[in-house]
Amino acid sequence: MNKVILNTGVQDFILKNLSSDIMSVLLSKPTFTGVEQKELVEQIEAKKKCREKLPTWFNTPNIYYPNKLNIEQTSSELTARYKAQLIHGKSLIDLTGGLGIDSFFFAQKFSIVIHCEIDSELSEIASHNFNMLKQKNISCIPENGVDHLRGSNQKFDWVYVDPSRRNDKKGKVFLLEDCLPNLPKHLPLIFEKTENVLVKTSPLLDIKLAIDTLGFVKEIHVVAVQNDVKELLFVLEKEYSDNIKVTAINLGPSEKEEFTFSLENESQISSDHGPPATYLYEPNSAILKSGGFKSVAKAFGVHKLHMHSHLYSSEQLVDFPGRRFKVQQALPYSKKSLKSLSITKANITTRNFPISVAEIRKKHKIKDGGDRYLFFTKDLDEKLIMLVCSKI
C-alpha cells in the first residue's frame, strides 16, 4: 500500500481524471514523486468501478483502492446490505475478508467484527478504508481465517465465509471442496467456534449438491440484482435437520421482488398445467435458480404451460415476480405461420425448445428489439408453439 497516493494532490488528480483516457495517463511522464503512473491508473480504474457497485466507498474521501480484480470479485453494496439484514448478534468473524464490504455492513449489526484476510496488503487497505468510513468496531487480522479460528479460544455468534473460487492448482472452480478454504473440510472446526454459519457461494453452484455437501442447512437465499443472479447464501445452524426455507430475492435500485417457499413443500405440491391463457409470466432469474417452480405457481394462482418450460399463464392478471406479458396470439411453430405474421424485429425467448434464439433469428430473419415479444416453447402435447406477446 503506497500511502503517498493518499496525499491531497494525488487524490485530487484521481478524482479529476475519472473520465480521462487511461492510456494517456499511463504514458505520461511521472506526475507525482513516489507514485508510478501505473498506480494512478489502477486507482482511477478501480474507483470508476465503484461508482455504481460501491457508492459509499466512491463518495468517501481518501479511500484507497486495490486492483480492479478485487473490486470485480467483491460483494456489491446492495448484496452486502441484504446479507447484513439476515443475521445479527454480538460477535462475528469473517474468515475471507477481502476488501471488507461485507464486514463493513455486518459491523452495523454486530458489536464486534473480526476481518481476516490472508493478503497482508489487502488487509491493510481494508483497515485504512474502515477508518475513513468511521467504522471503528472492525479488527483487521492479516492471517488465514481458518488458521486464526483454529488458534483462537473465542466463541462467535456467527462465522461468515466466502470461499475463493480461484484455486492456484485448478484455476477457476465452483465445487465447495475445490474452493479456498475447503469449507466441507473445515466445517467441523468452524462449528467448534460457533452455532451459526453464513456461507456465500458462486451462483453457478448446484443448490442440491451444496445442501448435501454442507449439511445443517437451515435457509437458502438466491440473490439477484436486476435479474442477474449474483450469489447464493446458505445459513447453517449446528445440528439443524428440519425443513429448509428458500428465499428468491431480486434486488433493484429502489424496489425488490421477494418470494419464499420451503423445499419440502415444493417436492409435495402437484402443479396445474394448461394451455396459454390471456396473460403469460416468466419468473425472475432468482426464482428460476431457486427451483421453486411449483410453489410459485400455487402462490400466485397461475398454471404452467409444460412441466419443463417454467412459463406460466392465467386468465386474470396477477402481480407476478418476474416479467408479465399479454398474449396476443398462440400459434403452432412453423415457417409458414411465422411468415404470416410478417415480423422482422422482435425480442425472442426460448423455453424447453429444440432451436436456439440465434438459430431462430437466422432462419426467420428476425432482428433483435422492438415492442413485440416472441416465446418459443412446448405445449402439454409436446408440440412446438410460439406466443406473440406485448409486455405489461
Q: Residue 315: which residues within 8 A CB-CB, separation 6 or more? A: 277, 278, 279
pLDDT at 83: 97
DSSP codes, 7-61: SHHHHHHHHHTTTS-HHHHHHSPP-BTTB-HHHHHHHHHHHHHHHHH-HHHHTST
On whether both 66 and 96 belong to a single domain, the answer is: no
pLDDT in tens, 181-201: 999 999 999 999 999 999 999
| Rounded average pLDDT over 224-231 | 96
On whether both 352 and 215 belong to a single domain, the answer is: no
On whether both 227 and 283 belong to a single domain, the answer is: no
On whether both 358 and 323 belong to a single domain, the answer is: yes
- The Cα–Cα gap between 261 and 291 comes to 10
> Which residue, of 14, 46, 71, is where some domain finishes?
71
- Residues of the domain holding 37: 3-71
On whether both 216 and 319 belong to a single domain, the answer is: no
Q: List phi, psi (to 5°) of 16.
A: -80, -15
On whether both 65 and 31 belong to a single domain, the answer is: yes
On whether both 66 and 78 belong to a single domain, the answer is: no
**pLDDT above 70: residue 169:** no
Radius of gyration of the chain (CA): 25
pLDDT in tens, 276-325: 999 999 999 999 999 999 999 999 999 999 999 999 999 999 999 999 99
pTM: 0.93
| Rounded average pLDDT over 31-42 | 92
On whether both 283 and 348 belong to a single domain, the answer is: yes
**pLDDT above 90: residue 166:** no
On whether both 188 and 277 belong to a single domain, the answer is: no
> Which range among 20-24, 143-147, 166-170 shows the weakest confidence by mean pLDDT?
166-170
- On whether the CB atoms of residues 126 and 66 are closer than 8 A, the answer is no
On whether both 87 and 202 belong to a single domain, the answer is: yes
Residue 228 exposure: Cα atoms within 13 Å on the Cβ side: 6
Angle at 87 (CA atoms; ends 81, 90), nearest 5 degrees: 110
pLDDT in tens, 119-156: 999 999 999 999 999 999 999 999 999 999 999 999 99
| Rounded average pLDDT over 148-170 | 88
> Which residue, of 71, 98, 131, is where some domain finishes?
71
CATH number at residue 39: 1.10.10.1110
- The Cα–Cα gap between 60 and 281 comes to 42
> Which residue, of 225, 242, 259, is where some domain finishes?
242
Q: Into how many domains does the chain fold?
A: 3
**pLDDT above 90: residue 175:** no
Is the backbone of residue 291 left (phi > 0), alpha (psi -120 to 50) or beta?
left
